[in-house]
Structure 1
Amino acid sequence: MATAGAGIQLHPACRVRQEGFGLLFYDSRGPRLLFAATGNLLPPDFYSVQRRRDEFPAEVTAAQQQSLQKFVNQLLEKGFLREQ
């Protein structure tokens, strides 16, 4: 069970690539792709290191943070990110 201080990180079987629309997530455990219309809000390597669930780049606005938090939850549910 994850603790309150646990961080999240990209699953080792997953890769992220920057595209014109935002980020493309690829899961090598199966033919799963996730297209994320994030624009330039997150760099593709943002989750290559462990981060808090609510940690985002400094220039992200409060409204963008809310959207990104929903996105992070979706990535966790689909297995692209994992809690450490």
Structure 2
Amino acid sequence: MAAAGAGIRLHPACRVRQEGFGLLFYDSRGPRLLFAETGKLLPADFYGAVRNRDELPEGLTDNQKRALQKFVTQLLEKGFLREQ
């Protein structure tokens, strides 16, 4: 559960969709694309709602969690996700 006023969410100018390889992020401010080979580990709509930074889908291995946490940091740095 995210603390009040804390969390991350997809930037309003960005869209994401599921592809065979994983996720495709599109930033209409650029336009910029980001291809993420996440397979089915992260649903396309996962960051449509505000999430705690460490919140990830259920059933992941420790290695998958670490990889996705690193990926979330990259998405924040590139502006596809933003902190609330």
TM range (shorter): over 0.9
Counterpart secondary structure, 1:47:
helix
Match of 2:6 in 1: 6
1:52 matches 2:52: yes
Give me the TM-score of the superposition, normalised by structure 1.
0.92
Match of 1:42 in 2: 42
- Describe how 1:1-84 pairs up with structure 2 within 5 A: 6-84=6-84
Deviations 1:14-53 (A, max 9, x none): 0001000000000011120000000000110000000011
Counterpart secondary structure, 2:69:
helix
Aligned residues: 81
Unaligned runs of 5+ in 1: none
CA distance in 2, matches of 1:20, 1:58: 21
Over aligned residue pairs, what C-alpha RMSD do you find?
Answer: 1.3
Give me the TM-score of the superposition, normalised by structure 2.
0.92
